[in-house]
Amino acid sequence: MSVGEFELIYRYFSALGHGPGVDLSVGDDCALLRLEPGERLAVSVDTVVEGVHFPEDMFPEDLGFRAVAVAASDLAAMGARPLAMTVALTLPDSDQLWLHSFSQGVAQAVSEFSLPLVGGDTTRGPLAICVQVMGALPLDSALLRSGASPGDALCVSGTLGDGAAALAVLQGDFTPPEGFEEALLECYLRPRARLALGRELLGVASACIDISDGLLADAGHIAAASGVGLRIQPELLPLSPALAGHAERERVLRWALSGGDDYELCFTLPPGSALPAGCTRIGEVVAGEGVDAGIDLEGSGGFEHF
């Protein structure tokens, strides 16, 4: 069953728009958001396209959650307080079963990441989801890519490589050890944007980025923006139980170093700063340039579209 454009917006997307900073939500030409005095707006947008960013048989509910999580991860990487989001949807048709399931995933993400859905756009075309997120930051601080100095510790949150390993599972290319498949798939289908950690690192970390394209590629952005080199010790990379005991060490290292889709934070800490819970020191900042993990992985430059 299909449904008209305005009925669609009203039925599936108009009830998720309430939050502390929201003065006006879905239904007018713009939403109106309120910042606290002494704050500025952090804005970012991410598009996911079927067949490029997700497998075509992904459940709409997972897709809805994931599209928001991926965008929210950029707010985490800046240390921003989540404020609200807008979603531009391009749909091949207005299938109600699909829309119901998709909007359930979006609703779960609205609540998980404290990002009310305050507006958007709905058009017909090949399936694509564009999520714009907005957050608040104090006027005088933000977690940039550019503040790392030689002597800082290089750290990551969570475990690495799970997103890439889960994608390999979905593609029939990897069988995880008995009992670990569900947790691994969850890493890919339901990434957890590290918003609380980002806020904890604000004013503490010297540089920060979220790992979306693979550790080497994303750490490379910190190195370039900060004008420093990064030295990674591969034996320190945090691995989940699903990957830690895996026999093919080279494959696991490739996932952890160059697989994308982890949505963990990679950050640098000045000497003397305490390592936050759930994080691991994986190396150090040195004078120089580039990222050196001491091993040569072919094709480890991270994902680029062009």
| Calpha distance 186→231 (Å, rounded) | 30
Q: Are 163 and 188 in contact (CB under 8 A)?
A: yes
Min dist. Cβ of residue 39 to ligand ADP (A): 23
Tell how strand 279-286 and strand 117-124 pair up: unpaired
122 binds, among Mg ion, ligand ADP, none (CB under 5 to 8 A by kind): ligand ADP
Give 49 or 88: the residue with its C-beta nearer to Mg ion: 88
Taking the complex as a whole, the smallest distance from the CB of residue 116 to ligand ADP amounts, in Å, to 10
Residue 263 in contact with ligand ADP, rule: CB under 6 A: no
Q: CB–CB of 285/224 below 8 Å?
A: no
According to CB under 6 A, which one of 13, 113, 174, 267 is a site residue for ligand ADP? Answer: 13
Q: Is residue 298 at the binding interface for ligand ADP, with CB under 6 A as the rule? A: no
Select the span of 22-30, 72-80, 201-209, 243-251 touching ligand ADP (CB under 6 A).
Answer: 22-30
Q: Is 27 in the site for ligand ADP (CB under 6 A)?
A: yes
Q: Is 89 a binder of ligand ADP (CB under 6 A)?
A: yes
Task: Give yes or no for residue 9 binding ligand ADP (CB under 6 A).
Answer: yes
Contact status: 122 vs ligand ADP (CB under 6 A) = yes
Stretch that binds ligand ADP, among 21-29, 55-63, 72-80, 284-292 (CB under 6 A): 21-29
What does the DSSP assignment read for the chain? ----HHHHIIIIISSS---TTEEE-BTBSS-EE-PPTTEEEEEEEEEEEBTTTB-TT--HHHHHHHHHHHHHHHHHHHTPEEEEEEEEEEESS--HHHHHHHHHHHHHHHHHHT--EEEEEEEESS-EEEEEEEEEEETT----SS---TTPEEEEES-SSHHHHHHHHHTT-----TT-HHHHHHHHHS----HHHHHHHTTT-SEEEE-SS-HHHHHHHHHHHHT-EEEE-GGG----HHHHT-S-HHHHHHHHHH------EEEEE-TTPPPPTTEEEEEEEESSSEEE-SS--TT-S-----
Nearest approach in angstroms of CB 123 to Mg ion is 8
Restricting to residues 106-135, which ones interact with Mg ion according to CB under 5 A? 121
Q: Is 104 in the site for ligand ADP (CB under 6 A)?
A: no
Query: Taking CB under 6 A as the rule, does residue 176 contact ligand ADP?
Result: no
Applying CB under 6 A, among 22, 26, 78, 185 the residue interacting with ligand ADP is: 26
- Binding to ligand ADP by residue 93, rule CB under 6 A? no
Residue 117 touches which member of ligand ADP, Mg ion, none, C-beta under 5-8 Å by kind: ligand ADP
Residue of the chain from 64, 116, 119, 276 that contacts ligand ADP (CB under 6 A) = 119
Per CB under 5 A, residues contacting Mg ion are 121
- Give the interface with ligand ADP as residue ranges (CB under 6 A): 9, 13, 26-29, 87, 89, 117, 119-122
